[in-house]
Amino acid sequence: MERVAEKVLLIGWDAADWKMIRPLMDAGWMPTLQHLMQRGVWGNIATLQPMLSPMLWTSVATGKRADKHGICGFTEPDPSGAGVRPVNSTSRRCKAFWNVLSQKGLRTNVIGWYASHPAEPIDGAIVSNAYSSAVGPFGSPWPMRAGSIHPSRLEDAMAEMRVHPAELGQEHLQPFVPDMPSIDQARDKRLATLAKFLARSATNHAAATWLMEQEPWDVTAVFYELTDHLGHVFMPYHPPKMDCVTQHDFDLYQHVMAGCYKYHDMMLHRLLELAGEDATVIILSDHGFHCDAQRPSTTSNPTAWHRRYGILCMAGPGIPRGQRVYGANLLDICPTLLAMLGLPAGMDMDGKMIPGAFDEPARHDRITSWELVADERAPADATPVAAVDTDEAGDAEAIAHLIDLGYIEAPDESDVASAENTAAVSRFNLAISLQDAGRHADSATILRELVEKWPRQLKFRLALVRCFYHAGDIEACRELYPALSDEDAEDSTVQLIQGALAMKEGRPEAALEHFTRGASAADQMPGLHVMLGRAHTRLEQWAQAESAYRRAIDLDGDEASAYDGLSHALLAQSRWAEAADAALTSVELLRAVPSAHFHLGAALTKMNRPREAITAFETCLSMAPQSIRCHSWLERIHREALEDERRAQHHRDEIDRLKDAHRLRQMESRIDTDFDAA
């Protein structure tokens, strides 16, 4: 493969969202990112489930899902079996891109990446995610955690660059909180929280810029967690004012999140200066963050704030200018990065090269696996990762930080119980990741064990119901269902489950009643309106279906399933061009939905665009190969529009084969995504 990038600057903005960025760019507050977009490509990037940053950023670094890379949450049981520790780089079971590049003689700087502590020995430098944590009051000894830096010769320089929260004064904080002098900081600790998060970000930025100036590099990868961490504290105060926020708090803290994005743009400006015009730049977030009417009214579940689409922007030599890219996924970053540097992806990677990322179509070279390539270039001055001592104080501070954000619960009084509970959460997260990959049977195996041990844990039961639902085992769903109607379940959740099961049982009238009640209780929930639209669709109430799907789109313009459903409703009303536009929007947002490609093909056929329709139907078949409907449409196109009897006969043969094998039910199950819509 040909190398198209001289060097690559990879920047992670945790939880950054276009919904926040676009108004700020329109107001002229993010000129650096706006210029980068003008000279490159940009678009949404789909996240993975569950939306937990250590899992997601490890998938970015490896191109693999959690079942392969092994990072399944924020914490993990201590290897001793007693107690809990933050996830560790030694728990990752496969190579990250920095390991691969090191093997090929390419130098990489990695700064602040999730689950990168202890720092691994590579050709280049790693500043682990433990580096930026401040332990103890300012002025007292502040030792850097052992294992934070590779190579060890950089430890003294890196230690001097850390920023303690107490070093940040009014001149640093007032741009975020203009009225900060009026705050009683003895009672209101939110300024202290702001200072802590800003100091962590400033510390990683200082390390990144120093390494870019002082050390040779082919790739620099720097991660900023500020957008996510500030969002969980200050997004409730962002305009427009939420009903649950007092006017006093809104007036004080309404500018924090805008200030956060402006600060990121300023840091980006410096990174681009150091990288130079010849660098290829990739900026992405692991997921988005609700900033509008979709904001939850409670902060008890931090992942409820996360949106399924993050941001992606790429610019540099060999990348188109001023264009939008579609269909990107977090798993695609590692294969794309390797391709930029002329290296093949592994066949065991779950991602692919991002479509439209290069001016010229790049070769999709693959090797069996980078895990099979021996590492013969280990740095001579490397400290074995396993030799790094445990830092109980540092682990305790990191865990306290995660508790403050709401990502984990406080550990149990018993170390053994804490380890057991943490292992259960990790197993649950793995099960959800398997569901996200469509591996419902594997997910169910894990969830059965969890439900058996913790029968009252609602989220375990709900997830297992989803597995049974996708398997078409409604009886098993009903066996679990009585336990779901307890006081722990919100009304909208109960109505959603009842409605989804009624749909699967062929009772759309009952489903419609449940979804209507659920939407009344949670009108701001796009997924419930999608479900409502699907119930109307089953009843062939096309105008009502269209209205429900449009309501979902009004609530969230990135709701791919709503556009897919809207396309179906418009097709039924013979509005071919509108149907094609809706289906195209759906596949641009999320490519791996076969029904959207099917609806696109049907609309294009009706618009007398047979060759484009064939592409859409064949894409659908690549995801749902047992689709008799696709073969029927393709047979008709080849016979009537193209007069290609040979191809028409091929599809007739496929239809006969599928009918003989009784595979229609399997295809319908694959395309039916009712339950996951919400």
Mind listing the pLDDT tens digit for each residue in 552-563?
999 988 899 999
Per-residue pLDDT, 228? 96
How big is the CA angle at 211 (ends 208 and 216), to the nearest 5 degrees?
A: 135
Picking from 306, 304, 311, 355, the residue whose alpha carbon sits closest to that of residue 332 is 355
Of 149-153, 356-360, 672-676, the range with the lowest mean pLDDT is: 672-676
pLDDT band at 154 (very low <50, low <70, confident <90, very high): very high
Integer CA distances (angstroms), 617 to 572, 584, 622, 625, 661, in order: 18, 13, 9, 10, 21
| Domain range summary for the chain, segments of one domain joined by + | 8-399, 448-489
- pLDDT tens column, 372-422: 998 766 555 555 454 455 566 567 777 776 777 677 777 665 677 888 889
Cβ pair 97, 62 in contact under 8 A: yes
Separation between Cα atoms, residue 615 and residue 328, nearest integer Å: 19
Separation between Cα atoms, residue 330 and residue 333, nearest integer Å: 6
User: Dmax over Cα atoms in the chain, in whole Å?
Assistant: 83
**Band of residue 663 on the pLDDT scale cut at 50, 70, 90:** very low
**pLDDT above 90 as % of the chain:** 71
**Residue 241 confidence (pLDDT):** 96
Cβ-based neighbours of 241, under 8 Å, separated by 6 or more: 247, 250, 254
Give the lowest-confidence range in 212-216, 319-323, 406-410: 406-410
User: For residue 127, what are the contacts with CB-CB under 8 A and spacing of at least 6?
Assistant: 109, 110, 111, 112, 119, 148, 149, 158, 204, 207, 208, 211
Structure tokens belonging to residue 337 = 């990065």
Report residue 522's pLDDT band, with 50, 70 and 90 as the boundaries.
Answer: confident
Taking CA 13 as the corner, what is the angle to CA 12 and CA 19, rounded to the nearest 5 degrees? Answer: 135
- The CATH code belonging to domain 8-399 is 3.40.720.10
CA distances from 106 to 7, 219, 580 (A): 10, 8, 46
Cα–Cα distance for residue pair 620/124, rounded to 1 Å? 44
The rounded radius of gyration (Å) of the Cα atoms in the chain is: 26
The position carrying tokens 């039916």 is 672
**What residues pair up with 43 in beta bridges, in sequence order?**
312
Report strand pairing: 108-111 vs 219-224.
parallel
Cα separation, 475 vs 484, in Å, equals: 15
Select from 224, 192, 191 the least CA-distant residue to 208: 224
What pLDDT is recorded for position 520?
A: 81
H or E element at residue 587? helix 576-589
DSSP state of 382: P
Average pLDDT of the chain, as a whole number: 90
Parallel, antiparallel or unpaired: strands 288-289 and 40-46:
unpaired
| pLDDT reported for residue 390 | 59
Q: Are 455 and 483 in contact (CB under 8 A)?
A: yes
Per-residue tokens: 531: 């479900």
Instruction: State the pLDDT confidence band at 488, using cuts at 50, 70 and 90.
Output: very low
Q: What is the pLDDT of residues 32-54, one digit of tens each?
A: 999 999 999 999 999 999 999 99
Query: CA 410 from chain center: how many Å?
Result: 25
CA pair distance 532, 545, nearest whole angstrom:
7
Residue 664 pLDDT > 60: no
